[in-house]
C-alpha cells in the first residue's frame, strides 16, 4: 500500500485519520463519507458535498487525541456553525501541516470498537468490544488470532459481556452481524498482509441503525 | 513449527515395565527416598531398579552403581541427582537407550543464575538429538493411575481415585492443590503430569498422546505462560471435538504493560489474547481451581447438551430459585415444558406447588412414585436439553435419593444431569458416590456450582459443534 510506504518515508509512525480510513475502505470496511480540506478555499465545496448535519475534525499524523484537544466539532447543522468550527480548528491543523476533515454525521447511539494488534508471540490479533468512552472504563473486549474466520467473529460477538448491545434494543434493530464479521475478518487480513501495520484502532465503530460504520480510525505503523 | 519438532514415543514413559530411580536413597531427607516410596507404595507392578553409587540395596531392593550397570532394559528413568550430575546421567541414559526420563532434579532455567538456563539448553540439545523424551526438569514427576505408576516424590498421589481426567500442569504446587482437592471431592484422574521446565516435552507434545489415551476422557491443562503458543494451538485444533481440553491460565495480573497509542494496543493484555486464542482452538477456559475440577468432573461424567434449555427440579423452592438465577446469569435458558410434560407434572403435584419450571417437588417428598414420574416426564421432554436436580436432606425425604438411583442409572445421561444433593455426612454420600461412579449424574455442593457446571457443558458443546453457538 502506497499510503503506508509514503507515511514511513515521511518518518511518521501513524497514518492520519483520512489515510487510515482509506486503508480500511480498501479492505471493504465501511467508513464515514468525508472530504479532506487542505486549503480554506476548498471548504465551501466540501460542505456542499457532505451535507448537514456534519462533523469537522483536524486531521494529520500528529493528531491522535483530537477530542481531548478540542479539535472535533460534531453535529454542525448550518453553514454558519460549520464556518465557525473551521475557523477554530484550521490554525492548528495548518501549523501541523495537516488538514480538516468534513465528515458526514453518523446517527446511532451504539458505539463499538474493533482493532488489530501485533503480539510478539501470536502475531496479528483482532479485537472487538464496546466502544467510545466505555472502551477504557469497562475493558469489555475480546481477541482472536488472525486469520479470523466467520465463526471466530460470531463467537467474539457472543463473548463480550455487553453482547446484548448487538440485539434489538430500545427500538433499534439488531446489529448486522454478518457485516460486523466481515470487518473483523478484514482487519485480520490487513494484519497478515501488511507487516508494517502494528496496530489499528477503529473507535468508535458506530451502529447506524443496523449498519456498522468506522467513524474514527487510527493506523499505527512499526518495524 | 510442529513439523520441525520431533515426535516421541511416550509409551515407555507412561506405561513402563522397568523403572530405574537414579539417585535412589534410604535417607528420608532425600527426594530419592520419596520417589522409591511412591513407586513401591503405589503398587507398581513392573521392575524397580534403584541406582545409587554407594549402596548395595535401597529399600530392600538390589541397587546398581549406574544406569549402565543395570542388567535389564530400562523403559523409564526417574532422575533425582543434583543438577551438576545431570549431564553425565543423561549421557549414560542415552547410551543405555532408556525409553524416557522424568527429570525431577532442579537448578536449571528456573534459577536466577543464567548458567542454569544455559545448562538446560545444553541438556535439551542432547535430548532432542538423541530422541529421548524428558518430563521436567524441576518437576515433582508424573503419575499414571491406571498403570499404578507413581513416578513422583509425593507417595500420596497414589491415593487419588482412578478416573478419566488427565491433569497436565506447569506448576507442581498447582498439581498438588488440584489433586488433593479432587481427592477430597471424590474426583478421579487418569494421569497427573508435572511438566516443570519443559525440556523437550511441552503441552503440545503431551496433548496428542492424551487424546489417543483410552484412559483419558478429559484433558485439563494448568498454564502460566508458553514460549511458543502456536504448537499448542495446532495440537488443540487437531483434537478438537474428540476430547474436551480445559485450560486454567493464570498470570492475568501481569498484563497491560505495553505503552500504546491505540486502544487496541493498550487493551491487548497477554491474558486476553491467550484466552481468545485458546477459545479459537476449541479449548475451554475456566477461571479458577474449583471451576477446573467442577467442569472436569461434568465433562467426564455427562453427555453433551444439544442446546441451552434447562429444567430445574428441586425438593425445596429456595435452592431451585438459586439455581434459576445462576442459570439466567450464565446465559442458560429456563426450558418451557411441552404440554404432555406439563400435564404430567400437574397431575402428580398439588396446585399449591411451583409446577412450571423450576418445579418444586417438595409436596411429593413422601411419594417417591410421583417424583419418579416427574423426573421421567422431564427427562423425556424434547424441549429440555439438560436437567439440574436439587434436593436438600430432611428426615422426611431420606429415601428420595436411594429411590431415584434406579431411574437415574437406567437413564444414564442420555441428557446431561447435574445435581446438588446435600445431606449431613454419612446419609446420602454413598448413594451419590455410586451414582457418580455409574456416570448417572455429576453432583455439586451448591446450586450455583451445579448451574456453572451445566453452563460449562453447554459452552463446550458450542465449541465442539460447528452448528450451535447459543452461549
What does chain A look like in DSSP terms, one character per residue? -HHHHHHHHTT-SEE-HHHHHHHHHHTT--B--EEEE-SGGGHHHHHHHH-SSEEEEEESTT-SSTTTTT-EEEEE-SHHHHHHHHHHHHHHHHHTT-EEEEEEPPP-SEEEEEEEEEETTTEEEEEEEE-TTHHHHH--EEEEESSPPHHHHHHHHHHSTTGGGGS-BTTBPPP-HHHHHHHHHHHHHHHHH-TTEEEEEEEEEEEETTEEEE-SEEEEE--
Q: What is the mean pLDDT of residues A81-94?
A: 95
CA B320 to chain centre: 29
Q: Do B272 and A154 touch (CB under 8 A)?
A: no
Q: What's the rounded mean pLDDT across residues A138-167?
A: 94
Supply the pLDDT for residue B254: 58
Kindly identify which residue of chain B lies nearest to residue A125, measuring between CA atoms: B273
pLDDT tens-digit profile of A89-99?
999 999 988 99
Determine contact, residues B235/B204, Cβ cutoff 8 Å: yes
Rounded to whole angstroms, the Cα distance separating B78 from B180 reads 23
Query: What's the confidence (pLDDT) of residue B98?
Result: 98
- Res. B372: pLDDT tops 60: yes
Count contacts between A and B (CB, < 8 Å). 87
Which pLDDT tens digit goes with each residue over A89-140?
999 999 988 999 999 999 899 999 999 999 999 999 999 999 988 888 899 9
At residue B17, does pLDDT exceed 50? yes
Query: Looking at chain B, which residue has its C-alpha nearest residue A204?
Result: B263
Q: Which three cell numbers stand for residue B388?
A: 439440574
Q: Do A117 and B279 touch (CB under 8 A)?
A: no
A158 touches chain B (CB under 8 A): yes
Distance between CA B110 and CA A139 in Å, rounded?
33
Q: Are residues B50 and B58 in contact, defined by beta-carbon separation less than 8 angstroms?
A: yes
Q: Which of B229, B233, B267 sits opposite A139 (nearest CB)?
A: B267
Q: Is B257 helix (H, G, I), strand (E, B) or coil?
A: coil
Q: What's the grid cell of residue A1? A: 500500500
Position B470 scores a pLDDT of 46
Helical H segments across B97-157, by residue range: 114-130
pLDDT digits (tens, 9 = 90+) for B335-370: 999 999 999 999 999 887 788 999 999 888 888 889
Q: Is B273 on the interface with A (CB under 8 A)?
A: yes
C-alpha cell at B372: 419418579
Q: Does A98 touch chain B (CB under 8 A)?
A: no
User: Cα-flanking dihedrals φ and ψ of residue B8, to 5°?
Assistant: -115, 155
The C-alpha of B272 sits at a distance from chain A's nearest C-alpha, in angstroms, of 6
DSSP B144: E
Q: Quick check: B4 contacting A, CB < 8 Å?
A: no
Beta-carbon-side half-sphere exposure of residue A212 (alpha carbons within 13 Å): 29
Residues of chain A positioned with their CB less than 8 A from the CB of B236: none
Question: Residue B2's pLDDT is what?
Answer: 41
Around Cβ B92, how many Cβ atoms within 10 Å? Answer: 17
For residue B142, list its beta bridge partners. Answer: B151, B193
For position B259, what pLDDT does the model report? 61
| CA gap B67, B77 in Å, rounded | 9
Yes or no, beta carbons of B261 and A220 under 8 Å apart: yes
pLDDT at position B380: 94
Report the percentage of chain B scoring pLDDT > 90. Answer: 81
State mean pLDDT over A37-64: 93
Q: How many other C-beta atoms are found inside a 10 Å radius of the C-beta of residue B14?
A: 25
Strands B284-286 and B61-62: unpaired
Q: Which of B233, B264, B280 sits opposite A201 (nearest CB)?
A: B264
Angle made by CA atoms A24, A216, A49, in degrees to the nearest 5: 85
Which of A127, A134, A188, A218 should be substituted to probe chain B, the one whose Cβ sees the most B Cβ atoms within 10 Å? A127
* Contact residues on chain B for A128, CB-CB shorter than 8 A: none
- Of all residues in chain B, the percent with pLDDT exceeding 70 is 96
Eight-state DSSP code of residue B349? S
Question: Of A148, A97, A98, A100, whose CA–CA distance to A122 is shortest?
Answer: A148
Q: What is the chain B residue with the closest CA to A151? A: B466
Q: Which of A117, A144, A155 sits opposite B469 (nearest CB)?
A: A155
pLDDT, tens digit, for every residue of B417-471?
Answer: 999 999 999 999 999 999 999 999 999 999 999 999 999 999 999 888 755 444 4
Distance CA B418, CA B326 (A): 14
Do B471 and A121 count as a contact with CB atoms less than 8 A apart? Answer: no
Q: Is A7 exposed, middle or buried (0-12, 13-18, 19+ CB in 10 A)?
A: buried
Q: CA separation (Å) from B360 to B216, B249, B306, B353?
A: 37, 39, 25, 6
Q: Residues B85-143: pLDDT tens digits?
A: 999 999 999 999 999 999 999 999 999 999 999 999 999 999 999 999 999 999 999 99
- What is the C-alpha separation between A109 and B199, in angstroms, rounded? 53
Query: Which grid coordinates belong to B289?
Result: 481451581
Q: Which of B371, B419, B367, B370 is nearest to B396 (CA)?
A: B367
Residue among A13, A141, A203 whose CB faces B272 most closely: A141
B37, B155 in Cβ contact below 8 A? yes
Interface check for A58 against chain B (CB to CB < 8 A): the answer is: no
Taking the CA of residue B50 and the nearest CA in chain A, the distance in Å comes to 43
Q: Is the pLDDT reported for residue B3 higher than 50?
A: no
Q: Looking at residue B154, what DSSP letter applies?
A: -
What's the gap in Å between the CA of A188 and the closest CA on chain B? 13
Determine the length of chain A.
223
Mean pLDDT of the residues in chain B? 93
Confidence grade of residue B6 (pLDDT, cut at 50, 70, 90):
low
Do A77 and A53 form a contact (C-beta atoms < 8 A)?
yes
Contacts 24+ apart (CB under 8 A), A86-94: A86/A37, A86/A40, A86/A43, A86/A56, A89/A56, A89/A57, A89/A58, A90/A40, A92/A58, A93/A58, A93/A59, A93/A60, A93/A63
In the structure grid, which three cell numbers stand for residue A151, read together? Answer: 465463526
Mean pLDDT, to the nearest integer, of A50-75? 88
B9 three-class SS:
coil
Q: Are B182 and B207 in contact (CB under 8 A)?
A: no
Cβ separation B469–A154 shorter than 8 A: yes
For B232, name the nearest residue in chain A, comparing CA atoms only.
A122
State the burial class of residue B159 (Cβ atoms within 10 Å of its Cβ: 0-12, 13-18, 19+).
middle
- Separation CA B153–CA B34 (nearest Å): 5
- The pLDDT mean for chain A works out to 94
Query: pLDDT at position A134, please?
Result: 86
The residues near B329 (Cβ < 8 Å, ≥ 6 apart) are none
Instruction: Identify the pLDDT of residue A54.
Output: 97
Kindly give the residue spans of alpha helices, DSSP state H, lying in B330-469. Answer: 339-348, 368-380, 400-411, 429-437, 447-464
Lowest mean pLDDT: which of A102-111, A132-141, A206-215, B54-63? A132-141
Mean pLDDT to the nearest integer, B47-69: 97
The backbone region for A15, taken as left when phi is positive above 0, alpha when psi lies in -120 to 50, beta otherwise, is beta
In angstroms, the separation between the Cα of residue B263 and the nearest Cα of chain A is 6
**pLDDT, tens only, B232-289:** 999 999 998 899 999 999 987 755 455 667 777 777 778 889 999 999 999 999 999 9
Residue B228: which of B4, B458, B468 has the closest Cα? Answer: B4
Nearest-angstrom CA–CA distance, B462 and B82: 48
Q: Do A200 and B229 touch (CB under 8 A)?
A: no
Inspect the interface and report whether the beta carbons of A64 and B466 lie closer than 8 Å.
Answer: no
**Chain B, 162-181: which have a CB under 8 Å from a chain A CB?**
none
pLDDT at B258: 56
CB contact under 8 A, B263 and A203: yes
Nearest residue in A to B225, CA atom? A121
Span B47-68, mean pLDDT?
A: 97
Amino acid at each position: 500500500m502506497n499510503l503506508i510506504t509514503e507515511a514511513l518515508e515521511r518518518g511518521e509512525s501513524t497514518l492520519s485519520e483520512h489515510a487510515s480510513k482509506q486503508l480500511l475502505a480498501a479492505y471493504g470496511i465501511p467508513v464515514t463519507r468525508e472530504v479532506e480540506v487542505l486549503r480554506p478555499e476548498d471548504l465551501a465545496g466540501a460542505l456542499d458535498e457532505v451535507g448537514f448535519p456534519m462533523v469537522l475534525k483536524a486531521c494529520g499524523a500528529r493528531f491522535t487525541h483530537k477530542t481531548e484537544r478540542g479539535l472535533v466539532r460534531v453535529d454542525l447543522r448550518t453553514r454558519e456553525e460549520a464556518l465557525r468550527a473551521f475557523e477554530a480548528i484550521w490554525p492548528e491543523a495548518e501549523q501541523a501541516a495537516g488538514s480538516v476533515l468534513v465528515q458526514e454525521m453518523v446517527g446511532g447511539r451504539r458505539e463499538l470498537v474493533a482493532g488489530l494488534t501485533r503480539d510478539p508471540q501470536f502475531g496479528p490479533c483482532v479485537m472487538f468490544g464496546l466502544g467510545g468512552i466505555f472502551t477504557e472504563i469497562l475493558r469489555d473486549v475480546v481477541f482472536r488470532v488472525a486469520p479470523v474466520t466467520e465463526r471466530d467473529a460470531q463467537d467474539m460477538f457472543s463473548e463480550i459481556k455487553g453482547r446484548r448491545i448487538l440485539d434489538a434494543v430500545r427500538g433499534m434493530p439488531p446489529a448486522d452481524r454478518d457485516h460486523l464479521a466481515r470487518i473483523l475478518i478484514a482487519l485480520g487480513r490487513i494484519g497478515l498482509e501488511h507487516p508494517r501495520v502494528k496496530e489499528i484502532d477503529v473507535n468508535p465503530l458506530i451502529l447506524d441503525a443496523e449498519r456498522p460504520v468506522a467513524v474514527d480510525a487510527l493506523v499505527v505503523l512499526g518495524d | 513449527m510442529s513439523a520441525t519438532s520431533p515426535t516421541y514415543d511416550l509409551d515407555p514413559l507412561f506405561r513402563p515395565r522397568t523403572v530405574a530411580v537414579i539417585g535412589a536413597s534410604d535417607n528420608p531427607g532425600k527426594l530419592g527416598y520419596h520417589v522409591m516410596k511412591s513407586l513401591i507404595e503405589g503398587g507398581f507392578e513392573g521392575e524397580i531398579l534403584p541406582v545409587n553409587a554407594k549402596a548395595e540395596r535401597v529399600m530392600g531392593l538390589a541397587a546398581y552403581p549406574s544406569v549402565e550397570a543395570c542388567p535389564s532394559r530400562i523403559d523409564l528413568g526417574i532422575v533425582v541427582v543434583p543438577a551438576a550430575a545431570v549431564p553425565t546421567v543423561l549421557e549414560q541414559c542415552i547410551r543405555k537407550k532408556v525409553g524416557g526420563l522424568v527429570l525431577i532434579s532442579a537448578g536449571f532455567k528456573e534459577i536466577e543464575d543464567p548458567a542454569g538456563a544455559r545448562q538446560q539448553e545444553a541438556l535439551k540439545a542432547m535430548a532432542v538429538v538423541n530422541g529421548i523424551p524428558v518430563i521436567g526438569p524441576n518437576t515433582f514427576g508424573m503419575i499414571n493411575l491406571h498403570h499404578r505408576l507413581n513416578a513422583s516424590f509425593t507417595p500420596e498421589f497414589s491415593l487419588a481415585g482412578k478416573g478419566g481426567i488427565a491433569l497436565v500442569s506447569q506448576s507442581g504446587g498447582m498439581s498438588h492443590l488440584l489433586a488433593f482437592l479432587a481427592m477430597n471431592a471424590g474426583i478421579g484422574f487418569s494421569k497427573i503430569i508435572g511438566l516443570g521446565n519443559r525440556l523437550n516435552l511441552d503441552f503440545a507434545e503431551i496433548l496428542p498422546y492424551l487424546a489417543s489415551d483410552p484412559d483419558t476422557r478429559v484433558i485439563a491443562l494448568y498454564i502460566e505462560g508458553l514460549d511458543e503458543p502456536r504448537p499448542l494451538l495446532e495440537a488443540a485444533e487437531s483434537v478438537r471435538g474428540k476430547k474436551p481440553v480445559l485450560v486454567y491460565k493464570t498470570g492475568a495480573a501481569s498484563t497491560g504493560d505495553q505503552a500504546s497509542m491505540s486502544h487496541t494496543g493498550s487493551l491487548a493484555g497477554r491474558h486476553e489474547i491467550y484466552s481468545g486464542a485458546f477459545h479459537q482452538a476449541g479449548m475451554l477456559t475456566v477461571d479458577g481451581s474449583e471451576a477446573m475440577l467442577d467442569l472436569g468432573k461434568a465433562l467426564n461424567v455427562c453427555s453433551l447438551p444439544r442446546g441451552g434449555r434447562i429444567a430445574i427440579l428441586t425438593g425445596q423452592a429456595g435452592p431451585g430459585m438459586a439455581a434459576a438465577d445462576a442459570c439466567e446469569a450464565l446465559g442458560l435458558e429456563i426450558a418451557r415444558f411441552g404440554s404432555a410434560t406439563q400435564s404430567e407434572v400437574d397431575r402428580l403435584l398439588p396446585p399449591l406447588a411451583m409446577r412450571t419450571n423450576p418445579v418444586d417437588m417438595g409436596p411429593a417428598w413422601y411419594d417417591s412414585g410421583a417424583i419418579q414420574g416427574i423426573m421421567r416426564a422431564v427427562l423425556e421432554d424434547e424441549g429440555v436439553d439438560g436437567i439440574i436436580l436439587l434436593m436438600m436432606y430432611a428426615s422426611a425425604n431420606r429415601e428420595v435419593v436411594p429411590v431415584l438411583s434406579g431411574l437415574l442409572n437406567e437413564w444414564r445421561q442420555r441428557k446431561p444431569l447435574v445435581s446438588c444433593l446435600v445431606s449431613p455426612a454419612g446419609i446420602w454420600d454413598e448413594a451419590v458416590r455410586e451414582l457418580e461412579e455409574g456416570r448417572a449424574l455429576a453432583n455439586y455442593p451448591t446450586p450455583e456450582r451445579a448451574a456453572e457446571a451445566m453452563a460449562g457443558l453447554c459452552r463446550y458443546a458450542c465449541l465442539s459443534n460447528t452448528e450451535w453457538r447459543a452461549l
